[in-house]
Homo-oligomer: A and B are copies of this chain.
Amino acid sequence: MRLSRYFLPLLKETPSDATIASHQLMLRAGMVRQNSAGIYTWLPLGHKVLKRIEQIVREEQNRAGAIEMLMPTIQSAELWKKSGRYDAYGPEMLRITDRHDREMLFGPTNEEMLTDVFSSFVRSYKDLPKILYHVQWKFRDERRPRFGVMRGREFLMKDAYSFDVTPEEARKSYNKMFVAYLNTFERLGLKAIPVRADTGPIGGDLSHEFVILAESGESAVYAHRDLVEMDAPGTNIDFDGDLQSVVDERTAFYSAADEMHDAEAFAAIPEDKRMEARGIEVGHIFYFGTKYSEPFDATVMGPDGKPNLVEMGSYGIGVSRLVGGIIEASHDENGIIWPTEVSPFDVGIINMRAGDAECDAACDDFYAKAQAAGLDPLYDDTSDRGGVKFSRMDLIGLPYQIIIGPRGLKDGIVEVKTRKTGERENLSPDAALAKLTA
């Protein structure tokens, strides 16, 4: 993409209502613009990051055997009256009356709706297990939306739902999602820790939150350092195999957020292994048994010909929240530092003298070759001065910058800057390209 053709409206001033780094940086880097309290437009740069995160989440759901579908945003209140959550949800639920005076709502989550859909079709234990998911916009009418996309009202969530015949089978589905989540966050460049969680208004008796560490985190996290340092299971794992040991290996360590913290158990950990930090919740998984299958009479015939209520779980990842979460975990005083897998462009090309025939030709050539090599480059072909271009490129945080100017070209070299380390190298254009595609 040529910057002259792109729409990248940077802000020079940091808006005063933006109090945390990710909110400030997303506004300054032209990623989002607020339309109403807690409701954002995703400008082109922000939209690209959002889509890249969504795609990684999708790939890891698919790998775990979950099947994608899509439920609508607007739901009938009937469904929620059936589960008893219509009244329980309170003012966070955006309630709507349509032209025929029917009570509707903008879905904050989809347990009721999918249980209803599922039970209308599935009759036999032979059709289970199933994990279905969608990535859809949700709405929670927060009393005080803040922190930009981290606590917005309209937000993008991946929510999966598992259906099984027995609690033992349901545990297998839970484990699949547990492992898929560890892999997902690792691919996103994040260190995410599973912590024991309160099941809250969703109900149920087995639940973990996935928390990433960041100073601005909303809650305190207490964990054994060995858990924090453990690698993800990896995408080669067999999801049909036994995952219990993989889960047990991790849940054996102490880890909890505020509300589930047990100071005594934590104190029993060797002092050098105790980690106390701030965390941001980016995922939450629940096993809740028959909580929803009961009111919706979601049963399947068992092998014995008798009906069984299906055992269910739900599994959420805050996709739009992750955009902010990744920035909280990865930025410096000059701007964002994108992990490679979610960066909106793979590389920035800076033309140091746009309008100079030789410099333009060299930049055009590098741009074309980078695209041909399968990279997605952002080419700053504007007539802005070098300082503006440098700070802009640092702000938007692409992993690499290729700086091409008349002086270097005389010696047949371009400069390659690695955003994260600030390291600079002088290389021939071919060697620079080879470095990017390595």
Interface residues of A (CB under 8 A from B): 5-7, 9, 30, 33, 35-36, 39-44, 47-48, 50, 65, 67-76, 91-92, 94, 96, 98-99, 102, 104, 106, 113, 116-117, 120-122, 130, 132, 134, 137, 139, 141, 143, 153-154
Q: How far is the CB of A308 from chain B (nearest CB, A)?
A: 19
Q: Which B residues lie within 8 Å of A47 (CB)?
A: 68-70, 134
A72 lies within 8 A of B102 (CB) = no
Q: Knowing A69-B47, A73-B137, A154-B74 touch, does A7 contact B41 (C-beta < 8 A)?
A: no
CB closest residue in chain B, given A92: B99
CA of A121 to CA of B8, assembled, Å: 9
A41 lies within 8 A of B71 (CB) = yes
CA of A143 to CA of B134, assembled, Å: 28
List the 10 closest pairs (A to B, CB-CB), nearest first.
A9-B121, A42-B70, A91-B99, A36-B76, A99-B141, A72-B154, A39-B72, A47-B70, A41-B71, A44-B69
Q: Which B residues lie within 8 Å of A117 (CB)?
A: 33, 35, 41, 43
Q: Knowing A44-B69, A47-B69 touch, does A33 contact B120 (C-beta < 8 A)?
A: yes
A-B contact pairs, 20 of them (CB 8 A): A5-B67, A7-B130, A7-B132, A9-B122, A33-B117, A35-B71, A35-B72, A36-B76, A41-B69, A41-B71, A41-B117, A43-B117, A44-B69, A47-B134, A72-B154, A73-B137, A94-B96, A96-B96, A99-B141, A99-B143
Q: How far is the CB of A63 from chain B (nearest CB, A)?
A: 13
A75 lies within 8 A of B35 (CB) = yes
Q: Which B residues lie within 8 Å of A67 (CB)?
A: 5-7, 44
CA of A132 to CA of B45, assembled, Å: 12
Q: Knowing A104-B36, A137-B137 touch, does A7 contact B143 (C-beta < 8 A)?
A: no
Q: How far is the CB of A267 from chain B (nearest CB, A)?
A: 42
CB closest residue in chain B, given A120: B33
A154 lies within 8 A of B69 (CB) = no
Q: Knowing A33-B117, A120-B33, A122-B9 touch, does A106 contact B70 (C-beta < 8 A)?
A: no
Q: How far is the CB of A163 from chain B (nearest CB, A)?
A: 10
A35 lies within 8 A of B113 (CB) = yes
Q: How far is the CB of A3 from chain B (nearest CB, A)?
A: 11
Q: Which B residues lie within 8 Å of A36 (CB)?
A: 74-76, 102, 104
CA of A137 to CA of B73, assembled, Å: 8
CA of A400 to CA of B89, assembled, Å: 48
* A48, A50, A71 interface centre (most CB from chain B within 10 Å): A71
CB closest residue in chain B, given A78: B36
Q: Knowing A96-B94, A117-B33 touch, does A43 contact B72 (C-beta < 8 A)?
A: no
Q: How far is the CB of A359 from chain B (nearest CB, A)?
A: 20
B50 lies within 8 A of A70 (CB) = yes
Further contacts, 5 of them, CB under 8 A, given A36-B104, A47-B68, A99-B143:
A5-B65, A7-B67, A33-B120, A39-B74, A40-B72
CA of A204 to CA of B98, assembled, Å: 30
A70 lies within 8 A of B99 (CB) = no
A74 lies within 8 A of B139 (CB) = yes
* A7, A44, A92 interface centre (most CB from chain B within 10 Å): A7
Q: Knowing A67-B44, A91-B99 touch, does A106 contact B74 (C-beta < 8 A)?
A: yes
Q: Which B residues lie within 8 Å of A76 (CB)?
A: 35-36
CA of A122 to CA of B33, assembled, Å: 13
Q: Which B residues lie within 8 Å of A91 (CB)?
A: 99
* A43, A74, A153 interface centre (most CB from chain B within 10 Å): A74
Q: Which B residues lie within 8 Å of A48 (CB)?
A: 68
A44 lies within 8 A of B68 (CB) = yes
CA of A48 to CA of B58, assembled, Å: 13
Q: How far is the CB of A198 from chain B (nearest CB, A)?
A: 24
CB closest residue in chain B, given A110: B41
